[in-house]
Amino acid sequence: MQRKNCWEKKRCGREMGGQNAYELGVCPAATEIRLNGIHGGENAGRACWTIAGTMCEGAVHGSFAQKYHNCGSCEFYNLVKEEEGDCFRATITLLAKIE
């Protein structure tokens, strides 16, 4: 089964070549190569909660600290967590890959 990236599931249009990429900018999750393959995603497409500048609830969020408190209630975050089960990578581990 192919796992969906955040931009596919949320349909934000901020992926490379997406309908909103020019106006809103390409999402950093779509270009963060250091997390490529994590949870079976393209770049950080299945670890978007670790990346600053992603869109949450219709607004672009700056730092990880600004956005992370909302991630626990995000349907995509919880979907990835459920799909990955015991293979779900802890956020602290993912952050270490991009710092």
Confidence of residue 98 (pLDDT cuts 50, 70, 90): very high
The confidence score (pLDDT) of residue 60 equals 77
In a domain, 93, yes or no: yes
User: Whole domain around residue 79: which residue ranges?
Assistant: 6-98
In a domain, 90, yes or no: yes
Tokens of 63: 């730092």
Per the structure, how many domains does the chain have?
A: 1
- CA distances to 14, 33, 71 from 20, in Å: 5, 21, 22
33 vs 63, higher pLDDT: 33
In a domain, 26, yes or no: yes
Q: pTM of the entire structure?
A: 0.89
In a domain, 1, yes or no: no
Q: What is the mean pLDDT of the chain?
A: 91
In a domain, 10, yes or no: yes
The confidence score (pLDDT) of residue 1 equals 63
Confidence of residue 37 (pLDDT cuts 50, 70, 90): very high
* Alpha carbons within 13 A on the beta-carbon side of 68: 10
